[in-house]
Amino acid sequence: MTRTNSFSPLSEMKRTLVLLALVLTLLHPSAAFSAAVGPLSRRHHWGGAGHTQCQRQSPEQQAHVLQRLSEERDEQSEAAVVNDLIAESFEKLRAGQSRKTVHIHFGAGKLGLGLVLKAMAKSAEATSSQLVLLQRASNAWKSVVDCDSPYIRFALNSTEICRLRVIRPGDPLDFEEIVQGARENAASKGHAGYFILHGSGEEEKTKLQQLLDWAVSDESPLAAVFSTSLGPALHKATEPLLSRLPKRKEAAERPALYACENDHVAVEKLAEKLKGKVTVVPCMVDRICAERTIGKCADGTCDVSVVAEPFPGEIVLLSPPEHAQMPAFRGNNVHCPEDEREAHYFCERKKLMVNGMHTTLAFMTLAKEQPLDFMKISGYDSETLAPGDHELVNWAQGTEEDRRMMWNWAVARCILCCHQHTVDVIKSAHGVTSDEEVCRILLAYARSTLDRFSTVRDTTSRVLGGGIHNRFVGRLANLRDFVESSDFEDSPIRQKMMEMAGVSDASLKEDVRALVKAALPHAQLDKERRDKQEQLPFSKVPTYIGSVMAQIDSDDEKERKAQARKTSWLRQYFWGLG
């Protein structure tokens, strides 16, 4: 199913685009054809020159846009003309939502500040809307709570993003002040919105609930838009508050929440919990944000600085409903694919390559820094062998052997990506026609991802923070299963991909098996630690690791039998037979 990129009513969009196509046909037939079938018709971004230009024009000035572009087309390429026209047509649709917004974002973690906040600040500046950032006042924020400065400065890679006014625990909220702030630009009022640090007491919860209730009520002249970047705290931080909002029969009347989360299963669960009250839109987010520092500026203003990779990152909205309020994000790195299959591909490609390869590097590092012998696993103590905090091995500093293993894993992930989404979907998403072009695009993405990991320092404890066992099962062992399956052997693009990547079938499989085998003891010990903490009965322990152990290949049958004897107790443990 093809989905429109606009959030205005579909009929309005169709009328606008049909009119645009007719005008383009009169101006330049080939340009009209490009607008109809080119890559821009599949994946648009919000932001850029076309958008900024339109935002500064009055309705009367916009009436002359087509004439102006016609006069300048001799100096521009056809692609640039089409790009400007499409951008401005979508901007007109966006302008149809005349109410300014109050954008309430949950979470001030590394990803939220290193990727999402900049897109929010751009939108707030362009539309004079209000930005409200919510964050629990944990110990990490004590210096801001204790500081007497009314403002906090947020910076990314030493460049200021925005300044917000701080509302600390116990401070009252003035809704009229928020409304008034939307009527002024950031330069005149000295800040782009509000940073609300809240406590965990009942009074603080009531204050937040009143804010959300007001934001979605008829009393507020601002249209409410929510977003999150909370990670594991998604449900705990949002569900108790948002579940109290009123149900609305008409979908168009419900506020939208754009979930900028890596855990899309958690997002789906939240959407189910808030059904009828809030429209939850999953977003794919991609940027490596490795460090957050909270302190003070020289002028006494509170300061929060985030270090992120040079790559600007991406926010991809995944199949948002047509009735949802336009998201308060702006920038060339904010995208909305029209086709649901293509949106799913972009999301899964990122998870496979970025999240998956990040996990691969973390397990490679553990295997090098804390090698555990699979043959001696029964003698290890899960409590005394907790994993250390090691800096990740990367492409730039790795050995030749390291690079070979990284590349083999990356190529295997490219082949899995083609299996999951079909080559035809990938061709459509990128506007290409041949298998060779698909291979070239995926391999280039894989290599650029490995290069990205070399630009930011990261550690095993952070990358594997979601649980070593969980990451092993979901991002390592699953790829080994695919490589050992008939799906891998039958992949129509496998040979072409490996040939263009310069890897052999034997080398790829050997490196995949070797890392899974080296990572398995760490996963098993992590599972033991977690089971002890949770005091789960043996019968509830998942069986996956047992099946992985049973499939580990040995070069010698005698060694295989020896492994089976030494690990029989472990199989019994995980199969619930002990």
CATH number at residue 276: 3.40.50.720
Residue 77 has pLDDT above 60, yes or no: no
Average per-residue pLDDT for the chain:
79
Residue 4 domain-assigned (yes or no): no
**107 and 223 co-located in one domain:** yes
Rounded Cα–Cα distance for residues 550 and 572 (Å): 12
User: Rounded to two decimals, what is the model's pTM?
Assistant: 0.70
Rounded Cα–Cα distance for residues 214 and 106 (Å): 17
For position 82, what pLDDT does the model report?
A: 39
Residue 460 domain-assigned (yes or no): yes
pLDDT, average across residues 250-264: 91
Residue 94 has pLDDT above 60, yes or no: no
Last residue of a domain, one of 39, 64, 94: 94
DSSP code for 391: B
Residue 505 domain-assigned (yes or no): yes
Residue 445 has pLDDT above 80, yes or no: yes
Residue 326 has pLDDT above 80, yes or no: no
**262 and 131 co-located in one domain:** yes
Q: pLDDT tens digits for 265-295? A: 999 999 999 999 999 999 999 998 988 999 8
For position 70, what pLDDT does the model report?
A: 42
**406 and 530 co-located in one domain:** yes
Residue 467 has pLDDT above 50, yes or no: yes
Q: Which residue has the higher pLDDT, 539 or 471?
A: 471
Least confident interval from 13-17, 207-211, 460-464: 13-17
pLDDT, average across residues 18-26: 49
Instruction: Report whether 578 contacts 390 (CB < 8 A).
Output: no
Residue 205 has pLDDT above 90, yes or no: yes
Q: Which residue has the higher pLDDT, 118 or 549?
A: 118
Q: pLDDT tens digits for 157-176? A: 999 999 999 999 999 998 88
Least confident interval from 82-91, 194-203, 341-350: 82-91
Residue 5 domain-assigned (yes or no): no
Q: Which residues of 135-145 are buried (b: 16+ CB within 10 A; e: fewer)?
A: bbbeeebeebb
Least confident interval from 267-271, 554-558, 572-576: 572-576
Residue 321 has pLDDT above 90, yes or no: no
Q: Tokens 């168009």 correspond to what residue?
A: 252
**211 and 348 co-located in one domain:** no
How far from each other are the two terminal CA atoms of the chain, in whole angstroms? Answer: 51
**276 and 348 co-located in one domain:** no
Tokens of 407: 């590349």
Residue 25 has pLDDT above 80, yes or no: no
**169 and 314 co-located in one domain:** yes
Residue 326 backbone dihedrals phi, psi, to 5 degrees: -55, 130
pLDDT, average across residues 377-385: 59
DSSP-based three-state secondary structure for 246: coil
pLDDT, average across residues 12-27: 49
- Look up the domain containing 23 and give its range: 10-94
Rounded Cα–Cα distance for residues 226 and 132 (Å): 10
For position 381, what pLDDT does the model report?
A: 60
For position 63, what pLDDT does the model report?
A: 43
For position 299, what pLDDT does the model report?
A: 75
Residue 254 has pLDDT above 60, yes or no: yes
Last residue of a domain, one of 338, 358, 377: 338
Residue 3 domain-assigned (yes or no): no
**255 and 371 co-located in one domain:** no
**328 and 349 co-located in one domain:** no
**422 and 513 co-located in one domain:** yes
pLDDT, average across residues 524-537: 76
- Measure CA 359 to chain center: 16
**66 and 82 co-located in one domain:** yes
Q: Which residue has the higher pLDDT, 151 or 320?
A: 151
Residue 452 domain-assigned (yes or no): yes
Q: Which residue has the higher pLDDT, 144 or 186?
A: 144
Last residue of a domain, one of 48, 76, 94: 94
Read off the pLDDT band of 544 (50, 70, 90). Answer: low
Residue 146 domain-assigned (yes or no): yes
> In 3D, which of 88, 80, 102, 105 has the Cα closest to residue 28?
80
Residue 351 backbone dihedrals phi, psi, to 5 degrees: -65, -40
> In 3D, which of 305, 235, 309 has the Cα closest to residue 274?
235
Read off the pLDDT band of 340 (50, 70, 90). Answer: confident
Total domains, the chain:
3
For position 384, what pLDDT does the model report?
A: 59
Rounded Cα–Cα distance for residues 438 and 158 (Å): 37
**273 and 199 co-located in one domain:** yes
Q: Which residue has the higher pLDDT, 224 or 17?
A: 224
**19 and 120 co-located in one domain:** no
> In 3D, which of 305, 307, 295, 300 has the Cα closest to residue 151?
300
C-alpha separations of 348 from 257, 273, 354 in Å = 21, 24, 10
Q: What percent of the chain has pLDDT over 70?
A: 71
pLDDT, average across residues 369-378: 72
For position 29, what pLDDT does the model report?
A: 43
Residue 207 domain-assigned (yes or no): yes
Residue 414 has pLDDT above 90, yes or no: yes
Read off the pLDDT band of 54 (50, 70, 90). Answer: very low
H or E, element range at 87:
helix 78-95
pLDDT, average across residues 53-79: 41
Least confident interval from 89-98, 306-315, 509-518: 89-98
